[in-house]
Structure 1
Amino acid sequence: MSLPVLPVLSSDCSQCSGLCCVLLPFSKDDGFKVSKSGGTPCANLAGDDSCGIHDTLRRDGWVGCTRFECFGAGQHVTRVTYAGASWRDQSDLGEMAAVLSVVRGLHEMLLHLRTATRRAPDVVPDGLVDEIVALDHADPVTLLTADVDDLHARVGGVLREASARVRGDSAGAGVDLSYDDLAGQDLRGRDLRRATLRGAVLIRADLRGLALDDTDLLGVDLRDADVRGTDLSAALFLTQPQVNGTRGDAATVLPDGMDRPGHWT
């Protein structure tokens, strides 16, 4: 199956108007230096909608910013949905925030469907990606009234089928640790190849030196997980924000096209 032309699925802040810095709330508990409510511009947002401390975010206590990824939703909402208008031009920032959330979800679904198509041909039904791309280009009212929950459920079923196909179905699949709380655990002695860890909590878990070939990482909380020397190149449904939250090094192997976080040493 060949995919239709997809929107850019990674952030390009130069094409955005600082939407995440204005529309989204954030909290000290989630790795931000201060807490703020949605619709309030971040104090670090410059007049040109760039970040005044972008190069020193972690050092200055804004770890949460370095973990965040909009999957290209910010620039898409700015340039496509609102035809280049900034948040400064909007009277209803609540609507714009809701649209940003919907589009980010659509882009994340497209990202995972792209992986499913590459790794498990013929699993993604005809028309599903086209349906999401069409909705992605819709006006704000259409985006906010669409049945995104139904769409999410259908995409979830496709991803489960793709995961089972890649991991070898029940006969050849690895261990099932879905939704397990593995926070802080030393997992270096475990064979996690072809395992499903989807939805699991691996905060501060030790994954050093492991090979995660065909391991389902959909929705896994990898904040501060130690992936030094870990081979993530063939992991399933790994995303940039998950990687951004980990601790890696030069020996960590990432999938093609994924950026190495600047804080890795």
Structure 2
Amino acid sequence: MMALVGVCPDLFAEESGNAARLRDKYASLAEPLSHNPFRRQLYLKSTESDSTLTGDIYAVVDYPFASVNGTLNDPVQGPANWCDVLILHLNVKYCHASASGNSARLTVNLGRKVEEKLSSSYRVQFNYRAVATGPEYFQVNLDADTGPMSTRDYRIVLEATSITATRTFLHLTYSYSYGATGRIAMKTYLATLGHGKVGFTTARDPSSGQAEYIGGVRGLTERNTMRYYLAIDSYLGTLSVPSDKRLDQRLAKWFDATEQYSRQLHEVDRDAYMSMKHNEYPRQQVMQ
């Protein structure tokens, strides 16, 4: 059979291989996806090395792959759509997408969980890359060299494949690295503002013998990974809503979803969150 002109067989093979790999992962997680404390088809894990923290979420969403791919992996609107996703997170105070040639960048400001001026927040420059795209599989990477509290090597990676005509399997990775200065800054945060906060994974307490939620830097990573995942899900859940009503519905869906896990994620009341985000959203429409 004659090969199609301009089409690289290796790319088809790579895409099919990635789709098969992700579907194999879906099959291997059948039990934890169906039986878990999240009340949705979701599996979360976190890892900590000497200098890197990573959170991974695998989840089934009730949206067709073409819809997910067409919004979060769109070559033109994808970066701006990602800004609409990220701004839902409490700590994201600003996000603006810009393009230069074949590359795109997201200018993101991270700050506190209350309303504040951009000058009081920390600016992070994410490079946006569509690593793979096709009818069965896609992967998008957001990478930043530096972050707040002397952290570095930030990565937000989303890959997805279809599992039925109306359902998609997602894998979200959120990770960053830190050195000695970053370690001290995070310990200070966890001893003050972050004191008593926990993640989702449980571990047996050696003193009591009881299963307890983990805290520390892994708990911090799990909370942020979940917040970013819920932002993606809330964004996808409002694509069919009239454009003038999407922001309100995205904000409401994100807040309501986080309140399902209030032990880990509750920070502010609903009115404060809605008011803060309504004030933050307009300023991301232009470069600040």
- Answer whether TM exceeds 0.5 for this pair: no
Q: Report the TM-score when normalising by structure 1.
A: 0.28
TM-score normalised to structure 2 length:
0.27
Structure with bigger strand share is 2
Structure of greater relative contact order (alpha carbons < 8 Å, 6+ residues apart): 2
